[in-house]
Structure formats: C-alpha cells, structure tokens
Amino acid sequence: MSTHTFRITVRGFFDALTQAQRSELLAEADQHDILRTAHTPTGHLSYDLSAREAFAFRFLDTGEEEDDVTAATRRAETAAANWLDDRGYGFKNLRSQAVDLATAPLSKRQRQAAVRGRAAEVRA
C-alpha cells in the first residue's frame, strides 16, 4: 500500500487585533515571511500585516488512502484555529485547500527529469 502525502493550506484573516497583538505579530514577522514558506507537519504560519490582514498556515500530512485527505484537512484547520485561539488572535473566513501529491501534475522540470531518466534506461 502506498502512502499519500497531502499539502494543506489553511487561509484566513486576522480579525479585531488589538494594538498589542498587532505589535507582537509585527515583531515576529521575520519568522513568518511569506517568501520563506514551507509545508510542515506542525504547520508554518505566514503573513504580511503591512500589506493586508491575511494569513496562511501550510501543513504537510500523510494518509494510506486518497480519501484520507478529508481527515488531514480537518486536522489542519483545527490546528490553525487552535494556534490562533491559544494566542487570543481573532480570525475570520477560514478556508482550506488540499493537494494529494500522488495525484498532482508534474512540473515542467519534473517531466524533463523523467524523460531523461527513461532515456538513460533505454541506453543501458
């Protein structure tokens, strides 16, 4: 049985942040830079409060079957909401997007590498 790897992105907006909360988030902004995002098992938060009140959590999860993506998405949403609640940050419009990497299309670079690999097998 193969393992499916899921990338889940949970997006939303901060809501009714106090000035102290906003200052706290701005002080930690370099740790949550949108240009250094990664999907991780514990979730990676990114935001840019100078541009807008939006945030994104990126999670990496696995499952034995393709249908496990639903449970993985629920876990990611719960983890994101808990992280925000634990810090007292208000939020709204939470929504998720999940991708099963086993079914994701290959990028141009990945397709080229696959073709080179097949060509090498033929020559051998």
pLDDT in tens, 6-44: 999 999 999 999 999 999 999 999 889 888 889 999 999
Structure pTM?
Answer: 0.80
Average pLDDT value over all residues in the chain: 87
Q: Say if residue 118's pLDDT is above 60.
A: no
- Catalogue all structural domains in the chain, each as residue range(s) with its CATH number: 4-123 (3.30.70)
Task: Render the chain in DSSP notation, one character per residue.
Answer: -PPEEEEEEEEEEE-S--HHHHHHHHHTGGGG-GGG---BTT-EEEE-TTT-SEEEEEEEEEESSGGGHHHHHHHHHHHHHHHHHHTT--EEEEEEEEEETTTSPPPHHHHHHHHHHHHHHHH-
